[in-house]
């Protein structure tokens, strides 16, 4: 499933509808947030294998180091830096570091997200909502705003926002997270026509539940997983 999501992301969004060859992104620079494991790492690998120079990021330096080492072992051009996308200074550092080390930016995969609450949405707190919306929604917009001028300088680019099937059908117990993922669908629609004038594509992918560390609390619990499966159209 993870491989399928990555292939879909790259075929439809980054390559403009064409399946990419191993050199189709040569000379391009791609930033992938939350890219030291799971979907983000898979996206970084796919972009790198297609010739892009990749910039990976995570909140922990140790995770960045591991991801960089793994990608370099696959002969992928990669650099990495720590970044908490909910922090203004970290977002600016990520962009500035990329431009300084790689010369520009062509692709942004906005993948970072948090899910801090499980339970009745009516019991969720103001703090939970603030954190989830800051990281899951605002950071995607603010990062796009930062990269757009650099993409314009290079004649255009591509922004890929990672939402979730929860954006279409809320997952039981994950109300605030689901709302944030629905917001990303709207953000994509709002950004796309504005940035099209600068030859910058904005697309959104909505993965289902994939067996990654981020979603482990869902698929490792038979009780929770059985409840989620009740909401799926395809059994």
Mark whether 117 is an active-site residue.
no
User: What is the number of other CB atoms lying within 10 angstroms of the CB of residue 216?
Assistant: 10
200 forms beta bridges with 157
Strand-pair category, 107-110 with 78-82: unpaired
Distance CA 140, CA 43 (A): 16
Q: What CA–CA distance (Å, rounded) separates 33 from 40?
A: 7
Q: Are 146 and 91 in contact (CB under 8 A)?
A: yes
9's tokens: 């992301």
> Any idea how long the chain is?
235
The CA distance from 185 to 163, in Å, is 7
Which residues face 119 on adjacent strands? 174
Catalytic entry in 177, 181, 187, 191 = 177
Give the burial class of 235: count Cβ atoms within 10 A of its Cβ; 0-12 exposed, 13-18 middle, 19 or more buried: exposed
Say what the alpha-carbon torsion angle 204, 209, 214, 220 is, to the nearest 10 degrees.
Answer: 180
Give me the active site residues, please.
177
């Amino acid at each position: 499933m993870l491989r399928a999501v990555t292939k879909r992301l790259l075929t439809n969004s980054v390559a403009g509808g064409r399946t990419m060859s191993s050199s189709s992104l040569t000379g391009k620079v791609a930033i992938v947030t939350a890219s030291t494991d799971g979907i983000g790492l898979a996206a970084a690998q796919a972009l790198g294998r297609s010739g892009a120079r990749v910039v990976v990021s995570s909140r922990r330096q140790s995770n960045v180091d591991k991801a960089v080492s793994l990608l370099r072992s696959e002969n992928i051009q990669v650099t990495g830096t720590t970044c908490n996308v909910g922090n203004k200074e970290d977002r600016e550092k990520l962009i500035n570091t990329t431009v300084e080390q790689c010369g520009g930016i062509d692709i942004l995969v906005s993948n970072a997200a948090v899910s801090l609450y499980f339970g009745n949405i009516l019991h969720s707190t103001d703090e939970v909502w603030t954190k989830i919306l800051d990281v899951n929604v605002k950071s995607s917009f603010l990062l796009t705003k930062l990269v757009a001028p650099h993409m314009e300088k290079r004649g255009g680019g591509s922004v890929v926002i990672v939402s979730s099937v929860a954006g279409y059908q809320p997952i039981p117990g994950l109300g605030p997270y689901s709302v944030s993922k629905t917001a990303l669908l709207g953000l994509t629609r709002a950004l796309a026509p504005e940035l099209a004038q600068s030859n910058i594509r904005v697309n959104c992918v909505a993965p289902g539940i994939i067996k990654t560390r981020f979603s482990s609390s869902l698929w490792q619990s038979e009780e929770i997983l059985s409840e989620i499966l009740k909401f799926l159209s395809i059994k």
